[in-house]
Amino acid sequence: MIEVLERILNEITEKLGYGNENKVIESNRPELCDFQCDNVFKLAKKYHKNPIEIGEAIVHAIQTLDDFCLYFEKVELAGPGFINMTVSDSFINKCLRYMQESEHFGIKKPLKKETYFLDYGGPNVAKPLHVGHMRTAIVGESLKRIIEYMGHKTISDVHLGDYGLQIGQVIYGILQDGKTEEDITLAYLEETYPKISALCKEDEQVKNACSEITKDLQDGSIQYQKLFKKILEISGNDIKRLYRYLGVSFDLWQGESDAYPYIPEVEKYLEAYIKDSEGAKIIPLNELPPLIFRKSNGAYLYATTDLATIYERITKYHPNHILYIVDNRQSLHFKQVFEVCETSKLTEGVNLEFLGYGTVNGLDGKPYKTRSGDAPKLDNLFTQIKELFATKKDSNKEMSGEDIDKIVNAILKFADLQNSREKDYIFDIEKFSNVVGKTGPYILYTYLRIDKILKCESIKYKINGIIYNEIDRKLRLQLLGLEKALTSAFDERKPHYLVDFIYNTAVLANQFYQMNHITGLEDEEKKQSWLYVLYLTNRILKNMLELVMIDIPSFM
Ligand code: ARG
């Protein structure tokens, strides 16, 4: 709709000699009009004229168009130069029909299909996944789905933290306990990592020993490699299980360790920039602290593996973009890495983006903790939500396990994705489990109620020219806002625009069926038109919920 309105305006301003760069936006004051164009002020400046004069000329030209009624109900100049537009009902319906009949609801395909490489998840092997790891997984997966929906290609990589100090610590524990590969279980890992990690904080010697082990592992020690493989297998399987529960998947299951073979090549490529500094190798940067490429003991660091990984990704997969969905607190690290990539032209022609995300906080505004004071493991969080949801209503206890899992997912994801990615948010389980409010259960409930109406009636999938009342019109216009919501989510890499769209649609849909009783309606034409609106609403809701990884349970 906006595209057509812009085209109409552009044709007119071009004829009037004012160029063709009009932007049409949704109205700031929906009680006055549906859309507005504020371009007149710019034109007035550019052409040294009075905005009212220009505005009146444009409005007059629109009003005298032969096919005015096809598109508009009313167009007027408001205030010092706003063009306010109210579209005609037939135009609304025409656009809805186009949405209904087109692939992806008629969202414009990109001029050029590009490859987006997404780096998200990034769990650290041998450490239990907790609530903080959920955000990168959920935001990353959702962005991946949105990017694909917009017509691009994606490649996703989990980028496991699999070569860091935590592995050295676990191996240290294994050796101390006199264990072998066969003894390594998930329970053993979950107990050993925190134990040795705490010990390292107290005992410098243990810490050094763990660093030594990590370094030897990286250098290829056969004994350590064997243990590492087993740790990776056990912990990796558990990570995969949790991601499966969340509906998060990856094309590549690579880790930091996979970057090691590329270090010599990237080191050679960056030769001119790498300097010696007290035995270490560093890359001085303009306004940032230097990037440390190799420590004086010969060990490589996080930045080194990221550079080597970039090298691997661009040579193997030739992406146009590499997106990192990583905790805000790592922004300095990525600034350093990106600066090296840019000055050395390593990533020439490739767009690198750091998409930071904020912290998940508890009611106290501090990082979300369990009662015992640690970050809750994801498993426990799932159970906690299940239990809470069961207490909300007696019939909830009778739901199938599969349906409950879908609801748990909806609660978590709707809570998370409604916040702008880079902001911290308070995770209030109680609030987000309710069936009222901006919550997953509210959306699911709305969908299922509409679905029930649709199943009871036979729909002819035809829309007539009439819009029957205000809420009817509001809902129809809301559906037309889909492209804008998706485009904003895609352009800004922020799924919350889509979540807002889903929520606003659900609110209007709820009002719609409360005010417009379909069952028993005698006017068949009206009934069909309303059924059609609800049918399209639910189709859109379902497809958009898929992009935020929310599945619909069989009943609620
Ligand atoms: N494993 C890292 C962490 O937990 C996150 C990895 C992010 N991705 C990357 N390419 N550095 O902090």
Return the CATH number at 56. Answer: 3.30.1360.70
Predicted pLDDT of residue 397: 87
Are residues 121 and 63 part of one domain? no
Q: Is the torsion defined by CA of 262, 263, 264, 269 positive or negative?
A: positive
Predicted pLDDT of residue 394: 87
Are residues 212 and 151 part of one domain? yes
SS3 (DSSP) at 525: helix
Tens digit of each residue's pLDDT (9 = 90 or more) over 354-401: 999 999 999 999 988 866 677 788 988 999 999 998 888 888 888 999
Is the entire prediction scored with pTM above 0.85?
Answer: yes
Q: Is the torsion defined by CA of 435, 441, 447, 449 positive or negative?
A: negative
> Where is 476: in which H helix or E strand?
helix 470-479
- Output the six-digit token pair for 121: 């998840």
- Output the six-digit token pair for 52: 């009212």
Are residues 131 and 178 part of one domain? yes
Predicted pLDDT of residue 2: 93
**Number of domains into which the chain is organized:** 2
Q: With respect to residue 245, please indicate whether it lies within any of the assigned structural domains.
A: yes
Q: With respect to residue 493, please indicate whether it lies within any of the assigned structural domains.
A: no
Taking the CA atoms of residue 226, residue 229, residue 230 and residue 236 in that order, the dihedral angle to the nearest 10 degrees is: 170
Are residues 162 and 78 part of one domain? no
CA-nearest residue for atom 11, ligand 1, is 306
Q: With respect to residue 180, please indicate whether it lies within any of the assigned structural domains.
A: yes
Residue 121 alpha carbon to ligand 1 centre in Å? 8
Determine the Cα–Cα distance for residues 298 and 295; give it in Å rounded to an integer: 5
CA-nearest residue for atom 10, ligand 1, is 306
Q: With respect to residue 395, please indicate whether it lies within any of the assigned structural domains.
A: no
Determine the Cα–Cα distance for residues 110 and 113; give it in Å rounded to an integer: 6
Are residues 273 and 177 part of one domain? yes
Predicted pLDDT of residue 520: 86
Q: With respect to residue 298, please indicate whether it lies within any of the assigned structural domains.
A: yes
Determine the Cα–Cα distance for residues 9 and 35; give it in Å rounded to an integer: 12
Predicted pLDDT of residue 458: 87
Name the domain boundary from 357, 391, 414. Answer: 357
CB of 124 closer than 6 A to ligand 1? yes
Residue 384 alpha carbon to ligand 1 centre in Å? 27
Are residues 212 and 67 part of one domain? no
- Output the six-digit token pair for 36: 């507005």
Are residues 137 and 39 part of one domain? no
CB of 306 closer than 6 A to ligand 1? yes
Residue 78 alpha carbon to ligand 1 centre in Å? 52
Pocket test for ligand 1, best of 124, 306, 326, 354 (most atoms within 8 A of CB): 326
Query: Tokens 């656009």 sit at which residue?
Result: 95
Predicted pLDDT of residue 70: 94
Pocket test for ligand 1, best of 129, 130, 134, 159 (most atoms within 8 A of CB): 159
DSSP 6-20: HHHHHHHHHHTTS-S
**Domain coverage including residue 38:** 2-87
Residue 325 phi/psi, 5° resolution? Answer: -100, 95
Residue 488: CB atoms within 10 A of its CB come to 15
Quote the radius of gyration of the chain (alpha carbons, Å): 28
Are residues 63 and 161 part of one domain? no
Predicted pLDDT of residue 392: 86
Atom number in ligand 1 closest to CA 333: 11
CB of 312 closer than 6 A to ligand 1? no
Are residues 131 and 76 part of one domain? no
pLDDT tens for the 556 residues of the chain, in order: 999 999 999 999 999 999 999 999 999 999 999 999 999 999 999 999 999 999 999 999 999 999 999 999 999 999 888 999 999 999 999 999 999 999 999 999 999 999 999 999 999 999 888 888 899 999 999 999 999 999 999 999 999 999 889 999 999 999 999 999 999 999 999 999 999 999 999 999 999 999 999 999 999 999 999 999 999 999 999 999 999 999 999 999 999 999 999 999 999 999 999 999 999 999 999 999 999 999 998 889 999 999 999 999 999 999 999 999 999 999 999 999 999 999 999 999 999 999 999 999 999 999 888 666 777 889 889 999 999 988 888 888 889 999 999 999 999 999 999 999 999 999 998 999 999 999 999 999 999 999 999 999 888 877 767 899 999 999 999 999 999 999 999 999 999 999 999 999 999 999 999 999 998 899 999 999 999 999 999 999 999 999 999 999 999 8
Q: With respect to residue 60, please indicate whether it lies within any of the assigned structural domains.
A: yes
Structure letter (DSSP) for residue 203 = -
CA-nearest residue for atom 5, ligand 1, is 122
CB of 159 closer than 6 A to ligand 1? yes
Fill in the amino acid letter for 331.
Answer: S
CB of 122 closer than 6 A to ligand 1? yes
Return the CATH number at 180. Answer: 3.40.50.620
Determine the Cα–Cα distance for residues 111 and 124; give it in Å rounded to an integer: 38
Atom number in ligand 1 closest to CA 133: 4
Pocket test for ligand 1, best of 330, 335, 355 (most atoms within 8 A of CB): 330
Determine the Cα–Cα distance for residues 287 and 336; give it in Å rounded to an integer: 10
Determine the Cα–Cα distance for residues 78 and 60; give it in Å rounded to an integer: 13
Atom number in ligand 1 closest to CA 306: 10
Q: With respect to residue 296, please indicate whether it lies within any of the assigned structural domains.
A: yes
Question: Is the Cβ–Cβ distance between 486 and 146 less than 8 Å?
Answer: yes
Are residues 227 and 190 part of one domain? yes
Name the domain boundary from 87, 102, 128. Answer: 87
Name the domain boundary from 307, 341, 357. Answer: 357
Are residues 248 and 138 part of one domain? yes
Q: With respect to residue 462, please indicate whether it lies within any of the assigned structural domains.
A: no
Are residues 160 and 31 part of one domain? no
CA-nearest residue for atom 6, ligand 1, is 122
DSSP 378-433: HHHHHHHHHHHHHHH-GGGGGS-HHHHHHHHHHHHHHHHHTS-TTS-EE--HHHHT
